Amino acid sequence: MRRGAILLTGAGGFIGQKVAELLLKKGYEVVGVDNLNDYYDVSLKKYRLNLLKPYKNFIFYKIDIENYNSLKKLFKTYKFKAVINLAARAGVRYSIESFLGKIFNKLNFTFAKK
Ligand SMILES: NC(=O)c1ccc[n+]([C@@H]2O[C@H](COP(=O)([O-])OP(=O)(O)OC[C@H]3O[C@@H](n4cnc5c(N)ncnc54)[C@H](O)[C@@H]3O)[C@@H](O)[C@H]2O)c1
């Protein structure tokens, strides 16, 4: 098991990439995770990750943090000293629509069963 790295989720994101860069410049080992979803242009996320590639203390995994088994595997490989969670779908409208959508779909299903 490797010790001392920082787990940073959303590493391909606007904020995540910047935070990763700051930490890498300070000499921390950063394990970046991102599922590279298409919530907005994926090429932008890939471009940001490419900026982090030159750092030898950066490792990237394309992982969805909603996937429990992938995360479990990662935590078995590394003993993280910190976790910074910046994986998000940072849009108020989407969050509301998606959240309410899920609830109403469940409710409809429940009613349909009765
Ligand atoms: N952008 C801002 O100005 C700002 C300001 C204050 C706070 N924040 C907060 O910072 C966080 C990140 O915002 P951002 O602007 O960098 O958003 P962003 O969309 O650019 O980055 C989020 C990243 O998370 C990844 N992601 C989403 N769901 C994932 C999942 N299930 N598994 C793995 N990766 C996943 C996305 O692919 C994306 O690359 C959010 O919580 C946001 O609210 C942002």
| pLDDT tens column, 44-96 | 999 999 999 999 999 999 999 999 999 999 999 999 999 999 999 877 666 66
What pLDDT, on a 0 to 100 scale, did the predictor assign at position 1?
A: 66
Which domains does the chain carry? 2-88 (3.40.50.720)
Mutate to test the pocket of ligand 1, among 35, 74, 93 (most ligand atoms within 8 A of CB): 35
Rounded distance from Cα 12 to ligand 1 centre (Å): 8
Distance CA 15, CA 3 (A): 25
Joined together, the tokens standing for residue 68 give 């429990």
Atom of ligand 1 at shortest range from CA of 87: 24
Rounded distance from Cα 13 to ligand 1 centre (Å): 5
- pTM greater than the 0.75 cutoff: yes
Q: Enumerate long-range contacts of 61-70, CB under 8 Å, 24 or more apart.
A: 61/31, 61/32, 61/33, 62/33, 62/34, 62/35, 62/36, 63/33, 63/34, 63/35, 64/35, 65/9, 65/33, 65/35
